[in-house]
Amino acid sequence: MPVIGVIGGSGLYAVDGLQDATWRAQDTPWGAPSDEMLHGTLDGTEMIFLPRHGRGHVHSPSTVPYRANVAAMKAAGVTHLVSVSATGSFREEMAPGDLVIVDQFIDRTFAREKSFFGTGCVAHVSVAHPVCPALSAACARAARTAGATVHEGGTYLAMEGPQFSTLAESRLYRDWGCDVIGMTNMPEAKLAREAELHYASVAMVTDYDSWHPDHGSVQITDIIATLQANVARATAMVANLPAEVTDAPCDEGCDRALDHAVMTAPEARDPAVVERLRAIAGRVL
């Protein structure tokens, strides 16, 4: 049976409806995750939730402990990891209130550790296709059942933040063909790939980025209202996931992403580094 993990972004700090729900601490070789994790079951499926910014929103996009978050999910037995995050939109048709099932990323972050591997044990993992198509399709079905307007496919521009983009940057990213912009899906997606998790990204559109000619007239109260409505849609989507997520074989090979990825010869690997990496790469080490 799959174990579904959900990492919730801005505004999503818990999941309602879990049976036998308990908050539990989880340590990892990369430190503690953003918060305790909420364990429970939903329609007979084990589900684990983690608020990316912590309850009360205490972590900025740059200080989120991304490696610890993904490692904690892996250690807890998660097989399918769904990311939910608030984003701006570069496309008129991807309107505030809509959900976008992301399938590509452009990483413009620069102040974050982006890999579990490094000196002592080097690995190169392909992220050409950074999300799991089957899990992404399951999220789309679950979101539509929840009544959301869903766009399947979209490129997510990950910026460092915490400031929003300038008008010039917004226009540039739009010209690049990006669809939504956010601050938290990188390096999360890359780390999920290294941890051999099925990963999907659901972007909740809260506003048009600064490229939009009407953006200046949008009030922060409007954005917060949209965010709250999006959280309701995302919560309903999460409630529908157990009926949609299966343990069918993955055509993208998410659960085998480390095959042939470790480059350091066994005799040259640092034993202490290898021991730490067993938490996410024990299958190949």
- The string of DSSP letters for 23-73 reads EE---BTTB--SS-EEEEEETTEEEEEEETTTTTT---TTTS-HHHHHHHH
Q: Which fold has domain 4-281?
A: Rossmann fold (3.40.50)
Q: Range with the lowest mean pLDDT among 15-24, 192-201, 213-222?
A: 213-222
- Indicate left, alpha or beta for 198 from its phi (over 0: left) and psi (-120 to 50: alpha): beta
From CA 204, how far away is CA 154, in angstroms rounded? 12
pLDDT at residue number 17? 87
The 10s digit of each residue's pLDDT in 209-253 is 989 887 766 667 777 888 888 889 999 999 999 999 988 888 889
**What are the helix and strand counts (H, E) for the chain?**
6, 11
Of the two residues 118 and 224, the one the predictor is more confident about is 118
> Mapped to the 3 state alphabet, what secondary structure does 124-142 carry?
CCCCCCCCCHHHHHHHHHH
> Any idea which residue has 């608020």 for tokens?
51
From CA 137, how far away is CA 94, in angstroms rounded? 18
From CA 21, how far away is CA 8, in angstroms rounded? 16
pLDDT tier, 172 (very low <50, low <70, confident <90, very high otherwise): very high
Which phi and psi (to 5°) does residue 16 adopt? -85, 155
Reply yes or no on whether the pLDDT at 99 is more than 70.
Answer: yes
What is the pLDDT averaged over residues 182-202?
98
> Contact at 8 Å (CB) between 78 and 279?
no
pLDDT at residue number 49? 97
pLDDT at residue number 281? 97
3 state SS of 233: helix
What is the pLDDT averaged over residues 134-151?
97
Q: Among 25, 49, 79, which Cα is nearest to 248's?
A: 79
pLDDT at residue number 225? 85
What is the pLDDT averaged over residues 9-26?
91
The 10s digit of each residue's pLDDT in 27-50 is 999 999 999 999 999 999 999 999
Catalytic residue numbers, as ranges = 207, 209
Reply yes or no on whether the pLDDT at 77 is more than 90.
Answer: yes
Domain ranges of the chain: 4-281
Percent of the chain with pLDDT over 90: 85
Report yes or no on whether pTM surpasses 0.85: yes
- The string of DSSP letters for 170-219 reads HHHHHHTT--EEESSSTTHHHHHHHTT-EEEEEEEEEEE-TTSTTGGG--
Percent of the chain with pLDDT over 70: 99
What is the pLDDT averaged over residues 164-177?
95
pLDDT at residue number 224? 82
From CA 279, how far away is CA 72, in angstroms rounded? 9
User: Taking the CA atoms of the chain, what radius of gyration do you get in angstroms?
Assistant: 18
Average pLDDT, the chain: 95
Exposure of 68 by Cβ count < 10 A (0-12 exposed, 13-18 middle, 19+ buried)?
A: buried
Q: Range with the lowest mean pLDDT among 64-68, 70-74, 204-208, 250-254?
A: 250-254
Q: Among 105, 95, 111, which Cα is nearest to 131's?
A: 105
pLDDT tier, 14 (very low <50, low <70, confident <90, very high otherwise): confident
